[in-house]
Structure 1
Amino acid sequence: MTKRSILASIIAASMLAACGSGDYSKTSSGILYMVVEKGSGPQVKIGQFFKLHYTTKINDSILGTSIGGMPIFSPVDSVPASYNPAEVFRFLHKGDSVVIIQEVDSIMKQNPMLPPYMKKGDKIQIGIRILDILDNQEQAQAQQMEEMKKQEGRDQALVDEFIKKNNINAQKIGRGTYVAVQNPGEGLAADSGKFVSVKYRGKILATGKEFETNMEPGKDPITFPVGAGQVIPGWDEGLKYFKKGGKGTLYIPGFLAYGMRPGPGGQPNEALIFDIEMVDVMDKAPAPQQNPAIPPAENQPAKQ
């Protein structure tokens, strides 16, 4: 059994135990928690950091998980009674598996503006596995950097395998983006500092599901400078291989897309595919389009 499946089984079993048992402890604000597997390590101290994996569920639906990806690094602070799951942290030990239960009714008392997937009567279940306790922020940052490198490797391997499995004729460039050039285009190249206008169709690599496009009739291209960090890194890498009129596809590993932030499919480290059309390449930013209902500035009365 893999590390991922072991952790998934632990957390799944933890949640089942929590839902079927009344053997909870309770924080001063009313958050319920239960340690379902006791670790053999030391208890955490205020000021230290946890390295952990988590899975969050509402009823039977998983909202998010770090299992199979990067662990989370979290400081352990003295948290006031605010119905915050972090209230539980200071009671835990290295190796503990714990389930935390929050009632949506109680959350609504503090914040009535809730996401649409939450409703009265629901329970949020957070399964946590404490992997390690770190003494200070420097140790946490050092381990986080190591974990980021591992995650980049997993992200890259996923796209490498996809390209090989589907026999896609694409060039691996930069830090790991794949570019399949259908038509390179002509004229000015989309080098760093150039302004480009691009039409695109974005899809999630794992499912092939389209999540966004401006290739439909009547939709304008997006315009931005290449290499200025205004788009995801995979775009800044891949668009440089096209000129005006160019067409092709970018295959982008998760760390060069949205990274740890939830992607278009709602999960971190999502690999993405973009069909792109390079509408234009310019040396400078295009002039803003004038609203025909508003006269140009030189024709307007001068301000007093």
Structure 2
Amino acid sequence: MKKAIYFLLPLFALLTARAYAQDPRPNMQGTPKGAFYQKFTNNTGEKIKLNDVITFNFIQKTDKDSVLFSTYKSGKPVQAQIQPSQNAGDLMEVFPLLAAKDSALVKVPTDSVFKGHEEARPPFFPKGSYLTFILKIEKVQSLNDAIAEKKAEAQKLKDGEAAAANNYVATNKINAVTTASGLKYVVTQPSVKRKPLAGDTVLVNYTGRILNGKVFDSSIAAEAKSASLDQPGRTYEPISVVLGQGQVIPGWDEGLLLLNEGSKATLIIPSALAYGEKGAGQDIPPYSTLLFNVELVKVKPGKHAPASKTGIMNPAKKKVYRKTPVSKKKN
């Protein structure tokens, strides 16, 4: 009998140690799916409900306190609609415990995050470790209120786009030609060589900016380096585009057809001929007028489409101006 008791003692100790190890801090509470949380505040406002839209800031860390991401550093909080929780990592079990202006610490076991795909587990998240979130709920809205606010913000951007573009042209004293579609362009280096036709392949060097001067992409090494663009593996050379095939945004398709081989120009492209109401990633906001300094390096004759009766591209057909993703700045 004593032998049985002695045998059970170390087993009990082992099980107790394992159970305690699951809780990263004794004063934290657990959720049904295995996350742990500690509220720093307890505001008296109404708690977050299913389908609410929350705006929140967060810092994401490893067990060793290394910061992986911070919305404070990025300068922009994130939004999420509250849905039924699918796993511990979506934090949907924790959000309904909070109210507006509440803050909390949440620890998610990485064993649950990488369950079923251990090959994706990075070295800084060993088995038994936790992914840490420090959250602050900035705003809580009903779904209808959030949609209405988004629409109002979008309309404000849309209404201000033309004024901002015109102000840019006036401030910088750009003597641009405006086409029927709204594209503005100015030739900065003329050429007497041939113009391309729809169906021709053109080689183009370019640098793209938004109106505040921020460079979001370039095919030119010196320009990319000057703007601290992060373009790993990028080959800096003119890109190849078949015109009139929808391979590029409408503003490029239209603007490049106006240039001669060997010429350089600045294209001022309204969002209706670019990325419209959606924008493109973090670098190109919705309703952004884009500035491209382009050089039409070479024209290669191709199959020519029948001439359009109107000569105006359909602005509703929005494509990226090149196949590779828009580059991002280094942090």
Calculate the TM-score normalised by the size of structure 2. 0.52
Would the aligned equivalents of 1:188 and 1:282 in 2 still touch at CA under 8 Å? Answer: no
Aligned residues: 253
Aligned to 1:31, which of 35, 38, 44? 35
Query: 3-state DSSP class of the match of 1:44?
Result: coil
Correspondence for 2:135: 127
The residue that corresponds to 1:16 in the other structure is none
1:87 alignment partner, SS class? coil
Counterpart CA distance in 1 for 2:96 and 2:43 is 14
Residues 1:98 and 2:115 are matched in the alignment = no
CA pair 149-260 structure 1, distance change in 2 beyond 3 A? farther
CA shift at 1:64, angstroms?
Answer: 5.6
TM-score by length of 1: 0.56
CA distance in 1, matches of 2:194, 2:67: 51
1:8-157 superposed matches below 5 A: 23-46=27-50, 48-59=51-62, 60-63=66-69, 65=71, 68-69=75-76, 72-114=78-120, 119-120=125-126, 121=129, 123-125=131-133, 127-134=135-142, 136=143, 138-148=144-154
The verdict on how the C-alpha distance between 1:248 and 1:215 changes in structure 2, with shifts beyond 3 A counting, is farther
User: Does structure 1 residue 259 correspond to structure 2 residue 279?
Assistant: yes
1:223 aligns with 2:241: yes
1:275 is displaced (CA, Å) by 4.6
> Partners in 2 of 1:115 and 1:253 — Cα distance?
43
Contact 1:202 1:211 in 2 (8 A): no
Taking the aligned partners of 2:35 and 2:94, their CA distance within structure 1 comes to 8
Q: Does 1:200 align with 2:205?
A: yes
Which residue does 1:294 correspond to in 2? none
User: 2:220 is matched with which residue?
Assistant: none
Could you give the per-residue CA deviations for residues 173-227 of structure 1, whole angstroms, max 9, x where no partner exists?
899998674325554478xx776534335578367124456543xxx63224469
Partners in 1 of 2:174 and 2:282 — Cα distance? 29
Counterpart position of 1:280: 299
- 8 Å CA contact 1:203, 1:209 repeated in 2: no
- For residues 245 and 80 of structure 1, do their structure 2 counterparts lie closer, same or farther at Cα, with a shift above 3 Å needed? same
Q: Could you say if the C-alpha distance between residues 107 and 178 of structure 1 is closer, same or farther in structure 2, counting changes exceeding 3 Å?
A: farther
Q: Distance in 1 between matches of 2:27 and 2:83?
A: 26
Is the CA contact (8 Å cut-off) linking 1:104 and 1:118 kept in structure 2?
Answer: no
Cross-structure match for 1:297: none
Q: Is the contact between residue 114 and residue 121 of structure 2 (CA under 8 Å) also seen in structure 1?
A: no
For 1:246, which of 263, 275, 283 is the aligned residue? 263
| Cα 1:58/1:201, change in 2 over 3 Å | farther
1-structure distance, mates of 2:176, 2:124 = 44
Structure 1: 5+ residue stretches without partners: 1-19, 287-304
User: For 2:115, what is the secondary structure of its paired residue?
Assistant: helix
TM-superposed deviation, 1:169: 5.8
Structure 2 portions without partners, runs of 5+? 1-23, 216-225, 306-331
Does the CA-based 8 Å contact 1:187-1:244 persist in structure 2?
yes
Larger radius of gyration: 2
Q: Which has the higher strand share?
A: 1
Aligned-pair CA distance for 1:130: 3.7
Q: Is the 8 A contact 2:33 2:87 kept in 1?
A: yes
Residues 139-218 of structure 1 aligned to structure 2 (within 5 Å): 139-148=145-154, 181-183=187-189, 185=191, 187-188=194-195, 197-202=202-207, 205=214, 208-212=227-231, 215-216=236-237
